[in-house]
């Protein structure tokens, strides 16, 4: 059985939408008796808080601002059927968890989203879902290729894992939500969306809508109809 699934998130908007869809998925799970622990790992700027912002909206916390609880350590948000407990463990250790009511949160039916879970690894429950957010690789150092989110599971029953994986797989086939305009003809083309890293749905000619427009743009550069503005090159006497 497949025990993980990966998504390519091309922008912060994609990451937030992925969080929202994940929150809606958790709301749809029939049994709300047990807490759900989400471990959010990734470097600074990987999109952990952005994911939680969408997660809160998916859980029904529509009117609450979500920010990283770096100094408050814990922030609670009221959702439709589950509350959201957002913990930033960067500045704490296992010995601090009693003070922030960690055990009480685990005993509830809350969704507990933990940033920097490595800091409190000894206290992490065996039943958890880990979402690792990493920068997507790109051959062009000047181009932000977005993020790759890898979802894995710890000690969940096979039936639970299968249920979540089947629901997440639907996100892969969901329509893209963003778009861009072809620089040559102005036609709208699809981009963005929650897709696996291996997806070939994005046009190979992007950001152009077709090879014809891509070649037309190349011709404009070769004929110098397109040029990059710059300072005048001084002339030197031979």
Integer Cα distance of 192 and 84 in angstroms: 27
Integer Cα distance of 110 and 120 in angstroms: 19
Integer Cα distance of 148 and 80 in angstroms: 29
Tokens of 220: 């404009």
Closest C-alpha among 147, 148, 170, 125 to residue 22 = 170
Tokens of 109: 């039916």
Longest dimension (CA), the chain: 85
pTM for this structure? 0.67
Per-residue pLDDT of the chain (238 residues; tens, 9 = 90+): 556 777 888 888 888 888 988 888 887 765 567 888 999 998 888 889 999 999 999 888 876 788 888 888 999 998 888 899 999 999 999 999 999 999 999 999 899 999 999 999 999 998 888 999 987 765 555 445 677 888 888 776 666 666 777 676 665 444 333 444 666 776 655 544 433 333 334 455 666 667 777 777 777 767 767 665 555 555 656 5
Domain 4-174, architecture per CATH: 3-Layer(aba) Sandwich (3.40)
Note the pLDDT of residue 234. Answer: 59
Map out the domains of the chain as residue ranges: 4-174, 179-222
């Amino acid at each position: 059985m497949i025990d993980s699934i990966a998504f390519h998130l091309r922008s912060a908007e994609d990451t937030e939408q992925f969080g929202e869809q994940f929150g809606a998925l958790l709301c749809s799970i029939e049994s709300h008796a047990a807490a759900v622990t989400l471990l959010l790992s990734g470097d600074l700027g990987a999109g952990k808080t952005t994911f939680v912002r969408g997660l809160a909206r998916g859980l029904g916390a529509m009117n609450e601002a979500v920010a990283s609880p770096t100094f408050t350590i814990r922030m609670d948000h009221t959702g439709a059927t589950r509350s959201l407990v957002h913990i930033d463990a960067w500045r704490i250790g296992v010995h601090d968890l009693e003070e922030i009511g960690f055990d009480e949160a685990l005993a509830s039916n809350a969704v507990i989203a933990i940033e920097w879970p490595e800091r409190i690894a000894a206290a992490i429950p065996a039943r958890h879902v880990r979402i690792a957010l990493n920068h997507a690789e790109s051959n062009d150092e000047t181009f932000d290729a977005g993020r790759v989110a890898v979802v894995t599971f710890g000690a969940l029953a096979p039936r639970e894992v299968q249920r979540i994986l089947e629901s997440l797989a639907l996100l892969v086939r969901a329509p893209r939500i963003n778009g861009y305009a072809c620089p040559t003809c102005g036609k709208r083309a699809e981009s963005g969306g929650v897709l696996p890293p291996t997806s070939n749905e994005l046009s190979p000619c992007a950001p152009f809508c077709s090879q014809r427009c891509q070649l037309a743009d190349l011709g404009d550069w070769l004929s110098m109809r397109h040029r990059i503005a710059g300072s005048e090159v001084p002339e030197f006497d031979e």
